[in-house]
Amino acid sequence: MASLRDIKNRITSTKKTKQITRAMQMVAASKLNRAQEKAQAFNPYAAKIKEVVSNMAASGTDATHPLLEERPVKKTGYIVITSDTGLAGGYNSSLIRRLTKTLNERHNSTDEYALIVIGRIGRDLLRGRGLPIIQEMIQVQDQPEFSDIKKLASTTVDMFADQVFDELYIWHNHFVNPLSQVPTENKVLPLAGLVDESASSNASYIYEPNEQAILDQLLPQYAESLIFGALLDGKASEFGARMTAMSSATDNANSMIDDLTLSYNRARQAAITQEITEIVGGAAALE
């Protein structure tokens, strides 16, 4: 049985751990609010550029672009968005598990796909499995700007245009609420599906200098914006998962403190009872 000093030391250390997890929970909650605001502020831009691009793609113009072309798939690219740090529950592990299962079902060998990984945790996990990583980005700030992702996004889009791979998917955790983050796969390239999506749009645009010039400018920007939007969504999911994990850790610490306190009081009561018994026994012996 543990001594009173041992139990008291465990109570003290658990209380200190609780203070840390509680502070991390509050920090994650604050970052989550800012990440949600950033993602919501980006949505109108993404929606408008999608409307313009899809309208142009379906307008019957002779303008073409490599990002719109479907071709036989010889190799597939995957962008995987994870976190740089842990302590976020199953945020990274569930995504990587779903991704690797899909890769095994969809491809016969690693020669059929390539990975672009954002986040140190995902990079280390996928590299440890020996999967082909052709680009990586770590130490992404908590509130990323488009300029942070611009180089990787632009390079990835250029790889598709240069036929390094023939289709591109994004894997990230979609934010539902702080308690729920869903591993999600979205197809980014080719953008041929935009033609069908524009059927309900009644907007009419005049393009200057011409549709081809605008298409050449907007299509890469739109594809890059999809990557940035997924990153913002992934960041909100990360902070939601971390807030939930730290909340659970704080609750567990409270439960452990209660149990240890009860054990401490019982052990103390037993020690006092033992002392009283010894005193009474000693007094009786002197009579």
Note down pLDDT in tens along the chain; length 287 residues.
567 888 888 889 999 999 999 999 999 999 999 998 888 888 888 788 777 777 776 665 665 777 878 888 899 999 999 999 888 888 999 999 999 999 999 999 889 999 999 999 999 999 999 999 999 999 999 899 988 899 999 999 989 888 899 999 999 999 988 888 899 999 888 876 665 554 445 556 676 777 777 777 888 888 888 899 999 999 999 999 999 999 999 999 999 999 988 988 888 887 788 777 777 776 666 66
Report the run of H or E that residue 237 belongs to, with start and end: helix 211-286
pTM here is 0.84
Whether the Cβ atoms of residue 160 and residue 76 lie closer than 8 Å to each other: no
**Domains of the chain from N-terminus onward:** 4-23+245-286 (1.10.287.80), 26-244 (3.40.1380.10)
The 8 Å CB, 24+ separation contacts for 42-45 are 42/225, 42/228, 42/229, 42/232, 43/229, 45/225
Report the run of H or E that residue 173 belongs to, with start and end: strand 167-177
Nearest-angstrom CA–CA distance, 90 and 245: 9
Give the HSE-up count for residue 194: Cα atoms under 13 Å, Cβ half-sphere. Answer: 30
Q: Order across the sheet with 133-137: list the strands.
A: 133-137, 113-118, 76-81, 167-177, 180-189
**Tokens at 139, concatenated:** 């130490």
Nearest Cα residue to 42 out of 243, 232, 263: 232
